[in-house]
Amino acid sequence: MFDNICKFLAENFSSDFATWLLGEPITLTELSPKELSIEPIRADALILLQSEQNILHLEFQTQVDAEIPFRMIDYRLRVYRRFPDKAMHQVVIYLKQTNSDLVQQNTFTIPGTRHKFAVIRLWEQPTEVFLRTPGLLPLAVLSSTIDSEAILNEVAREINGITESRTQSNIAASTAILAGLVLDKEVIRRVLRSDIMRESVIYQDILQEGKAEGKAEGKAEGKAEGKAEGKAEALLEVASNLFNIGMPLEQIARLTGLSIEQLQYLQVNESGESK
């Protein structure tokens, strides 16, 4: 879920990310991994964006991965084979603070070969960088701060000032999900307006995915006493009722077919009727 949110932000607010990472507001478009090689390529957290002169390769990580250095040189060579004249900027962005030495690694080295890439640990980044443009707002709460709740309140004020409704709802939903890495869901509920988030494409995607999962798995496990029947709204109603009786998320996930990440996001929105 977190990788998908970051991919959504980078692709839909590419100019904001280019300003942050490349130093200028270049308009970037998505580059499909299929354009790089006929061989399979790992793309679980891969984001490739391109302009006429540049390619921006992003990897957002919530957990450390010892394979990152190799993956970076692998992608670099694939891109060079396809676009030898384009400059390539590779950045690994770690979202969640950790003491692992792996988040310090920014090179791939074997005898005779050394490849370097950039690494950004969000918890070391100044908060003001992420408050300048809408597309970076959801990352602000993960930045260097001793008071994440205060930053979330500041982000909420910035979100309320966004005039385009779809942009506002998408940024709010993205912020709610990423804030779950550092803040309790009750804090997120209290600060962010759930009515705005319900209009986002992210929320609608959750509905559609819930609908698909319900169709595929509803009969096999008797989802929530037969109430789901493959319908997204029914799944949400069942999940809401189970939240209220204090059932653990893992058990709700088994009963409804929704993922833990989806349920955590829906929990954030449960306060909508009470606000």
Cα distance from N-terminal residue to C-terminal residue, the chain: 26
Q: What are phi and psi of 110, to 5 degrees?
A: -135, 165
* Percent of the chain whose pLDDT exceeds 70: 73
Shared domain for 149 and 161, answered yes or no, is yes
What's the pTM? 0.75
225 vs 85, residue with greater confidence: 85
Distance separating alpha carbons of residues 136 and 128, to the nearest angstrom? 10
Q: What is the pLDDT of residue 245?
A: 55
Sign (positive/negative) of CA torsion 251, 255, 257, 263? negative
What is the span of the domain harbouring residue 176? 128-196
pLDDT for 155 beyond 80: yes
Q: Do 32 and 61 have their domain in common?
A: yes
Q: What is the mean pLDDT of residues 29-48?
A: 71
Kindly report, residue by residue over 72-100, the tens digit of the pLDDT.
999 999 999 999 999 999 999 999 999 99
Residues 7 and 11: their CA atoms lie apart, in Å, by: 6
Among 2-11, 144-153, 195-204, the range scoring the smallest mean pLDDT is 195-204
The per-residue pLDDT of the chain, averaged, comes to 82
Both 173 and 95 in one domain: the answer is: no
∠ CA 30-22-136, rounded to 5°? 70
Sorted by sequence, the CB contacts under 8 Å of residue 243 that are 6+ apart come out as 252, 267, 270
Nearest of 208, 145, 136, 144 to residue 174 by alpha carbon: 136
Number of domains in the chain: 3
Domain shared by 190 and 206, yes or no: no
Residues 35 and 137 in one domain: no
Sign of CA dihedral 233, 239, 243, 245: positive
The whole-angstrom separation of Cα 79 and Cα 90 is 11
What pLDDT, on a 0 to 100 scale, did the predictor assign at position 136? 97
Residue 208 pLDDT: 65
Task: Using alpha carbons, list the distances in angstroms from residue 74 to 30, 220, 233, 247.
Answer: 19, 41, 43, 44
Q: CA-CA distances (angstroms) from residue 221 to 207, 213, 215?
A: 19, 12, 11
Rama region for 255: left / alpha / beta (φ>0; ψ in -120 to 50; rest):
alpha
* Shared domain check, 115 and 132: no
Q: Do 163 and 236 fall into the same domain?
A: no
Mean pLDDT of 32-61: 79
Weakest-pLDDT range from 93-107, 119-133, 137-151, 190-204 = 190-204
> Are 110 and 10 found together in one domain?
yes
Q: Which of 124, 158, 180 is the last residue of a domain?
A: 124
